[in-house]
Amino acid sequence: MSNVVDVRPANHVRPALKLVKTQDLDRQQWLAVRRNGIGSSDAAAAVGLNPYKSPLELWMEKTGRDARLPKPDPDDDTAATYWGTLLEPLVAAQYSRRTGHRVRRVNAVLQHPDEPWMLANIDREVTGAADVQILECKTAGLNGARLWKEGVPEYVQLQVMHQLAVTGKSAADVAVLICGQELQVHRVTRDENMMQHLMQIEREFWQCVRDNRPPPPDGSESADRALRALYPRDSGSTVDFRGDFEMAAVISDLVGVRALLEEQGKREAELKQRIQERMGEASKALFEAGTVTWKRSKDNTSIDIQRLAKEHPEIVQTYTIPKAGSRRFLVNV
CA angle 122, 41, 138 (to 5 degrees): 65
Q: What is the model's pLDDT at position 9? A: 45
Are 124 and 252 within one domain?
A: no
pLDDT in tens, 54-93: 999 999 999 999 999 888 888 888 888 898 889 999 999 9
Between β-strands 134-140 and 171-178, what pairing exists: parallel, antiparallel or unpaired?
Answer: parallel
Between β-strands 284-287 and 124-127, what pairing exists: parallel, antiparallel or unpaired?
Answer: unpaired
pLDDT category at 1 given cuts 50, 70, 90 is very low
Domains: count for the chain: 2
Query: Cβ-count burial of 95 within 10 angstroms (0-12 exposed, 13-18 middle, 19+ buried)?
Result: buried
Are 142 and 90 within one domain?
A: yes
Are 80 and 46 within one domain?
A: yes
Domain boundary among 191, 225, 259: 225
Are 120 and 17 within one domain?
A: yes
Helix (H/G/I), strand (E/B), else coil: 280 = coil
Which domain does 213 fall in, by range?
A: 3-225
Residue 122 covered by a domain: yes
Residue 325 covered by a domain: no
Are 67 and 166 within one domain?
A: yes
For residue 114, pLDDT beyond 60: yes
